[in-house]
């Protein structure tokens, strides 16, 4: 996390673009079959692993990642930076009532942070230019995009240069957590790679099929990598 924050601070002070992509198990699986999503993620300046299974897989491939960096944890650290430095933050995504609550909470907790603007995530592709123009006009230093994949990745890649925002970070469902709509898994479940199970328990109708499919595919990917990485005859 410290290395990520050092890159963020450098981008903020130099007004250099730093597009942050966060990958979890579901997104990694979807990237295998969606070349457009894969291109969007890989075009990011900083690609982070949000999930212990990805850290385990990196070790298996003998390309170990230093740690897991959860998108929501990074979001809170960005708030800290903005509060200390008086940076301008733009909030994009979620439903209007959730977004309003997120902005309210953020202002209460981080009084020196400047809210450059906010917009809910329910807009059509025809409105992309309008939304991008509003973000550019806000002179934001940090853009938080709380939309689902691949919508947020497509928006960030298409409009990233135009926005003229130094730091962009796709935070997914983090606004829901901050607003109290959903809860994060306990620490022990995070360390064991079981956050997906906690989400299924909270939203079974919406999440069970998604995680059944993506987790099954990831297990197959993991086992296949084990076979390739192990000396013949040891598995």
Query: What are the pLDDT digits (tens) for 122-148?
Result: 888 899 999 999 999 999 999 999 988
The answer to whether 25 touches 196, Cβ cutoff 8 Å, is: yes
Tokens of 11: 């981008």
The answer to whether 142 touches 169, Cβ cutoff 8 Å, is: yes
Break the chain into its structural domains and give their ranges: 2-183
Architecture of domain 2-183: 3-Layer(aba) Sandwich (3.40)
pLDDT of residue 235: 42
The pLDDT confidence band at residue 165, using thresholds 50, 70 and 90, is very high
d(C-alpha 191, C-alpha 212), whole Å: 20
Model pLDDT for residues 16-60, shown as the tens digit of each residue: 899 988 777 677 777 777 788 877 877 778 778 776 666 666 665
Centroid of chain to Cα 8: 15
d(C-alpha 216, C-alpha 224), whole Å: 12
pLDDT of residue 196: 62
Tokens of 29: 């699986």
Tokens of 215: 């987790």
| Contacts of residue 142, Cβ cutoff 8 Å, sequence gap at least 6 | 12, 78, 81, 82, 87, 88, 89, 90, 165, 166, 167, 168, 169
Model pLDDT for residues 67-81, shown as the tens digit of each residue: 666 778 899 999 999
pLDDT of residue 233: 41
Distances (CA, A) of 10 to 69, 71, 115: 19, 19, 21
Please name the residue that has the structure tokens 């977004």. Answer: 99
Please list the residues that pair with 22 across neighbouring strands. Answer: 48
Distances (CA, A) of 217 to 121, 221, 224: 29, 6, 11
Sign of the torsion angle spanned by Cα atoms 103, 171, 169, 160: negative
């Amino acid at each position: 996390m410290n290395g990520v924050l050092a890159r963020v601070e450098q981008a903020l002070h130099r007004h250099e673009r730093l597009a942050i992509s966060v990958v979890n198990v579901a997104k990694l699986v979807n990237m295998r079959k969606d070349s457009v999503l894969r291109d969007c993620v890989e075009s990011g300046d900083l690609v982070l692993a949000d999930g212990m299974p990805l850290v385990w897989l990196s070790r298996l491939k003998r390309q170990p990642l230093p740690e897991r960096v959860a998108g929501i944890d990074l979001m809170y650290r960005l708030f800290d930076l903005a509060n200390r430095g008086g940076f301008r933050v733009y909030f994009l995504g979620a439903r209007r009532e959730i977004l309003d609550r997120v902005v309210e909470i953020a202002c209460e907790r981080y009084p020196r942070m400047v809210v450059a603007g906010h917009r809910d995530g329910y807009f059509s592709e025809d409105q992309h230019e309008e939304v991008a123009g509003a973000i550019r006009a806000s002179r934001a230093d940090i853009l938080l995009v709380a939309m689902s994949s691949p919508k947020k990745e497509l928006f960030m890649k298409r409009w990233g240069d135009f926005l003229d925002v130094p730091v962009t970070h796709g935070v997914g469902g983090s606004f829901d957590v901050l607003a109290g709509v959903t809860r994060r898994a306990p620490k022990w479940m995070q360390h064991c790679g079981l956050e997906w199970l906690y989400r299924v328990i909270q939203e079974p109708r919406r999440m069970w099929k998604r995680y059944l499919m993506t987790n099954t595919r990831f297990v197959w990917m993991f086992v296949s990598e084990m076979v390739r990485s192990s000396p013949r005859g040891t598995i």
